[in-house]
Amino acid sequence: MAVAYRTHVSIIGDILSTARDEAPDESGASVTYLIRKANVSYARLSKILDTLVSQGLLEQTNSDRACKYKISNRGREFLQAYRGFREFADSFGLRI
């Protein structure tokens, strides 16, 4: 069966979507939860999370000795823009 190839931007979109819509509690989503829901390896996720936190799209919180991640307002704006432009690219039959 053919597996759909995900671009770097779409992986970021999936991570932010998970952090926004599927975080198990208000303190945010743990790394393990993000790995499972966004379907990314630990090594790749770590690099992306560092970038997203440094860009202000995700907020890092410490809860119960575990590092968790919450989507920021900036991250919500990015996700909204990403979804809009994904529709635009989809209309051309392309992947963003």
Which residues are near another protein by CB under 8 A? 5, 7, 9, 12, 51-52, 55, 57, 74, 77-78, 80-82, 84-85, 87-96
Backbone angles phi, psi at 20, to 5 degrees: -85, -45
> Which residues are within 8 A (CB) of 32 and not within 5 positions of it... i.e. 6 or more apart?
none
Nearest-Å Rg of the Cα atoms of the chain is 14
Residue with smaller CB distance to another protein, 20 or 27: 20
Q: How far is the CB of 80 from another protein (least distance, A)?
A: 7
Residue with smaller CB distance to another protein, 12 or 35: 12
Q: How far is the CB of 86 from another protein (least distance, A)?
A: 8
Q: How far is the CB of 57 from another protein (least distance, A)?
A: 7
State in Å, rounded, how far the first CA of the chain is from the last one. 23
Residue with smaller CB distance to another protein, 13 or 28: 13
Comparing C-alpha atoms, which of 41, 47, 43, 55 is closest to residue 6?
41
